[in-house]
C-alpha cells in the first residue's frame, strides 16, 4: 500500500516542484529587475503576460489535482485539465525527473497511476455501455499458431497465455476486447469502436504514449509484466483488469 502511494505521488510531486521552481524564478527575476532599474513598458507587458501564464498553469494544476478525487464539471473544464496533463504537466514532470535522475519507468508509472485516479473519480460521469479492453500483442504466447490481431475471439483458449482468461472475462462482462499490434492499429480500434472508456494493457512507454494520445477518452492503464524480457511472452494481472472493468460497470 505504501509503495503504491509513493508511486502515485511521485508524478504530482514532480509537477508541483516544477511549478514552484518556475514561480520562484519568475518572482526572483521580476522583482530583481523592478528594484534595480524599474520596469520599462516592454518589460511590464512581458512580465504581466508571464504572470498570467503562471496563474493559468498553477490554477489548472490545482483543478487537475482536484480531478483525482472529485468529478469535474462542466466537461470542457475536465477536457482542458486532461489536455494540460497530457501535454504540459507531463513534460514538466519529465524535465524535472531527468534533472533529478529519476528512473523513467518510475515517474511514468506514477503518471499512469495518477491518470487512473482521475479516470476512477470521473467514473460516475462516464457512460459505461461501451468498454474497450485494449491488449498488446506480446501477451500472446510466441508459439501460438493463431495470429490474433484485432478481435481476440480467434483465441482457441488453450491456456498457454493470459489471452484465454481475458477472453473468458470479456465474455463474462460483455466487454469488447481487442489486440493492437501497434499505435496505428490501436488508434484505428479506438476510432472503430468509439468506446466510452478504455481499459488498456501495455508496458510503461506504450501505455504512457497511449494515454496521452487518446487523452479525450478515459483510459484506465494496466501495466503488463515482463518475466521474459520486453515485448516477449508478457503477462498481466487478470484481477487488476477485472477490478477496472467492475469499476466501470
Per CB under 6 A, residues contacting ligand SF4 are 140-141, 144, 146, 148, 155-161, 163-164
8/163 with CB nearer ligand SF4: 163
92/189 with CB nearer ligand SF4: 189
140/208 with CB nearer ligand SF4: 140
Minimum Å gap between C-beta 144 and ligand SF4 is 3
66/231 with CB nearer ligand SF4: 231
Minimum Å gap between C-beta 136 and ligand SF4 is 13
Give which of 158, 164, 248 is closest to 200, Cα–Cα.
Answer: 248
160/193 with CB nearer ligand SF4: 160
Cell of residue 192, nine digits: 472503430
Minimum Å gap between C-beta 143 and ligand SF4 is 7
164/169 with CB nearer ligand SF4: 164
Binning the chain into helix, strand and coil, the percentages to the nearest 5 are: 65, 10, 25
Helix and strand totals (H; E) in the chain? 9, 5
Minimum Å gap between C-beta 91 and ligand SF4 is 37
* Crossing angle of the two packed helices 2-37 and 90-99, in degrees rounded to 10: 90
Strand 219-223 and strand 197-202: pairing? parallel
Strand 150-151 and strand 219-223: pairing? unpaired
Interatomic CA distance for residues 119 and 73, integer angstroms: 14
Interatomic CA distance for residues 207 and 222, integer angstroms: 8
The 8 Å CB, 24+ separation contacts for 26-35 are: 26/50, 26/51, 26/54
Minimum Å gap between C-beta 140 and ligand SF4 is 5
Minimum Å gap between C-beta 142 and ligand SF4 is 9
Residue 163 burial by Cβ neighbours in a 10 Å radius (0-12, 13-18, 19+): buried
Amino acid at each position: 500500500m505504501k509503495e503504491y502511494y509513493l508511486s502515485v505521488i511521485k508524478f504530482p510531486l514532480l509537477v508541483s516542484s516544477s511549478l514552484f521552481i518556475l514561480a520562484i524564478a519568475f518572482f526572483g527575476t521580476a522583482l530583481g529587475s523592478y528594484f534595480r532599474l524599474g520596469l520599462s513598458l516592454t518589460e511590464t507587458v512581458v512580465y504581466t503576460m508571464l504572470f498570467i501564464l503562471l496563474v493559468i498553469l498553477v490554477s489548472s494544476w490545482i483543478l487537475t489535482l482536484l480531478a483525482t478525487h472529485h468529478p469535474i464539471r462542466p466537461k470542457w473544464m475536465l477536457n482542458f485539465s486532461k489536455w494540460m496533463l497530457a501535454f504540459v504537466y507531463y513534460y514538466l514532470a519529465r524535465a524535472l525527473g531527468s534533472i533529478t535522475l529519476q528512473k523513467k519507468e518510475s515517474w511514468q508509472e506514477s503518471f499512469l497511476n495518477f491518470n487512473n485516479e482521475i479516470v476512477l473519480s470521473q467514473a460516475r460521469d462516464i457512460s459505461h455501455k461501451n468498454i474497450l479492453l485494449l491488449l498488446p500483442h506480446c501477451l500472446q504466447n510466441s508459439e501460438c499458431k493463431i495470429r490474433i490481431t484485432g478481435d481476440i475471439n480467434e483465441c482457441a483458449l488453450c491456456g498457454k497465455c493470459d489471452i484465454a482468461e481475458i477472453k473468458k472475462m470479456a465474455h463474462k462482462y460483455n466487454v469488447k476486447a481487442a489486440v493492437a499490434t501497434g499505435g496505428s492499429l490501436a488508434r484505428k480500434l479506438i476510432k472503430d469502436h468509439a468506446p466510452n472508456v478504455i481499459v488498456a494493457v501495455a508496458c510503461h512507454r506504450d501505455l504512457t504514449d497511449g494515454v496521452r494520445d487518446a487523452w479525450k477518452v478515459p483510459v484506465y492503464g494496466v501495466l503488463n509484466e515482463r518475466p521474459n524480457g520486453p515485448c516477449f511472452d508478457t503477462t498481466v494481472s487478470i484481477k487488476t483488469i477485472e477490478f477496472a472493468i467492475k469499476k466501470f460497470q
